[in-house]
Amino acid sequence: MPTGLDSLKHIVVLMMENRSFDHMLGSLRVVDSRIDGVTDQLSNPDTTGALVKPQPLADFQGQLDPDPDHHFPAVDLQIFGGDTSPSRVANMQGFVKSYFNQERDVGHSQKIMYYFAQNQLPVLTTLALEFAVFNRWFASIPGPTICNRAFAHYGTSFGRVDMNPIYVNEPFKNIYDRLINANPKHTAKLYYYDMTSSTMEVANLLQNEPELFGTYQQFLNDCSTGNLPDYSFIEPNYSDHDSDSGEEVANDQHPDHNVQAGELFIASVYNAIKQNANLWQSTALLVVYDEHGGIYDHVKPPACTPDQFTASANDTGTGQPFAFDRLGVRVPAILISPWIPKGTVVDGRVFDHASIPATITKFFLGDYSPRSPRETSADVFIEPNGPGVDPTRNLLSLAAMRNDCPDFDV
Amino acid sequence: MTVIHVPRPDVKSAMDSDRPVNTLLKAQIQHLRDAERNLPLRHRTDIYVNAIKTEGEAAEYIRQVTEAIREAHEAAAAKRGRGIAIAAAAADRPRRKGASASGEKKKSTVKRGRKT
């Protein structure tokens, strides 16, 4: 009998921007206690020493302004609470202090603890409750966007923890080239929203292989015509701008862009796949965020297999080098497929963005080298059937496809 | 089947192309500026990136350079295609008696000059 894995032909990854797990999905703990969200035991001290609890008071826009600092030194403060000693332990107590550094306003700094109520995010929370939500998906490094997104494309950031261009000169190929140069050949595409939003992968992929890219309109066309590649990576709209079809509101959810616009975008991606019945039964969609954006989360990032690179003390900005041996802050991650049982909570397994090329490679190519140590040790969110594979690891486990998956009215 | 209504944000209040450029867009501009420096002159913009202050200005620069990169690659591919087509056409052309296999022209022994 065909299962979800037997039917699976396409994997789609949509990577949004700069929101933590507790901020977006923390409200769901009261709905399903298995989801490791917010409790009233959690807090962070502000600069007066008062304990600030997380509250469901997040606004769609205009609240997290200025954009909370999410560069390496600020995230270090957020995770370790200001402790810089060699024997320090993560305590997730530095978020309010970190945000205070930007405006020097006690009241404003407390807003970094705010999270969204369930009814404010009907798309993300519905997807989390209907499909598979990951309790332990972390940013790949405790730092900003460019290096975290690099892990999704290359399985490493080549020793970088900053926002400067990463020029690849190591043997680790990006996932797209691995697929299109394989024998037999596979297909892969990055879809940016439009040319005005473009991609964050400029230095290597856009500059050298622009043919890898399509627009979001092309993604919609490819879904409706059944021409979706084996692997698709979607980037949201990074800016408010005018287009031929009118005003385009940024939908990446990066502060201070409108969070509801991002909800619409996620729903649009989901609908595009679901509206083609053949595609719906043969596609798995991962919605994930690149990093936490400086916003509070309570789960301490775990240690991980060190990458073979080291960022110098100068590069980290903290006075200490970084060996890529611990992950960044937790982010929302949801896997969507009609073959996933409703209410799946993935717990007890740790994922980061290296899991993306690890999964795509394992599923479509099998063994492949060379790959970074972080990628080869990363857990995979889709595991092909095979001898010795623990069947409980298969998230697409239903014997028959669901016919009760929700639709979004956009 | 459940249908979930998704509220739309009010575009007028959500949209602000005069919003100051955030750090992500600043990084993207820097990366595109580096890429623009590698483009042939005819593909480069006349935008001074240090003067970009707003999201709208950033968006315009990002659009122009992204288009320019694509156009530069398309131009190179077209030239490559013409080169291949010319070589293919030359290979297909029947050879005149005495013509070299390499297609090299024999040096002409006819003196060229103006008719008097």
Residue-by-residue DSSP string for B16-80? -TTSBPPHHHHHHHHHHHHHHHTS-GGG-----GGG--BHHHHHHHHHHHHHHHHHHHHHHHHHH
Residue A338 and residue A399 in contact, taking contact as beta carbons nearer than 8 Å: no
Query: Can you tell me the ipTM of this complex?
Result: 0.95
pLDDT at residue B106, rounded to an integer: 45
Count other C-beta atoms under 10 Å from residue A398's C-beta: 16
Mutation target to probe the A interface, by most A beta carbons within 10 A, among B6, B37, B67, B71 is B6
- In angstroms, the separation between the Cα of residue B52 and the nearest Cα of chain A is 14
Q: Looking up tokens 């959690």, which residue turns up?
A: A42
Q: Which two tokens stand for residue B15?
A: 């949209």
pLDDT at residue A137, rounded to an integer: 99
Minimum CA–CA partner of A404 in chain B: B1
pLDDT at residue A168, rounded to an integer: 86
Which residues in chain B touch residue A202, judged by CB atoms under 8 angstroms apart?
28, 31-32, 34-35
- All domains of chain A, ordered by start, with CATH? 4-21+118-393 (3.40.720.10)
- Quick check: B103 contacting A, CB < 8 Å? no
- Which residues of chain A carry a pLDDT beneath 70? 1-2
Residue A274 and residue A386 in contact, taking contact as beta carbons nearer than 8 Å: no
- Over its length of 116 residues, how does chain B's per-residue pLDDT go in tens digits? 799 999 999 999 999 999 999 999 999 999 999 999 999 999 999 999 999 999 999 999 999 999 999 999 999 999 998 766 667 777 666 665 554 444 444 444 444 433 33
Which residues in chain A touch residue B26, judged by CB atoms under 8 angstroms apart?
163
pLDDT at residue B97, rounded to an integer: 52
- Distances in Å between the Cα of B64 and the Cα atoms of A36, A280, B32, B54, B58 are 44, 36, 10, 16, 10
Closest C-alpha to A355, from A52, A100, A134: A134
Which residues in chain B touch residue A403, judged by CB atoms under 8 angstroms apart?
1
Query: Closest to A258 (Cβ–Cβ): which among B14, B25, B32?
Result: B14
Between β-strands A333-336 and A283-289, what pairing exists: parallel, antiparallel or unpaired? antiparallel
Between β-strands A241-243 and A246-248, what pairing exists: parallel, antiparallel or unpaired? antiparallel
- In angstroms, the separation between the Cα of residue B10 and the nearest Cα of chain A is 9
Query: Closest to A260 (Cβ–Cβ): which among B9, B27, B32?
Result: B9
Which residues in chain A touch residue B7, judged by CB atoms under 8 angstroms apart?
122, 260, 263
pTM for this entry: 0.93
Query: Closest to A207 (Cβ–Cβ): which among B62, B67, B69?
Result: B69
- Quick check: B80 contacting A, CB < 8 Å? no
CB-CB under 8 Å, A408 with B6: yes
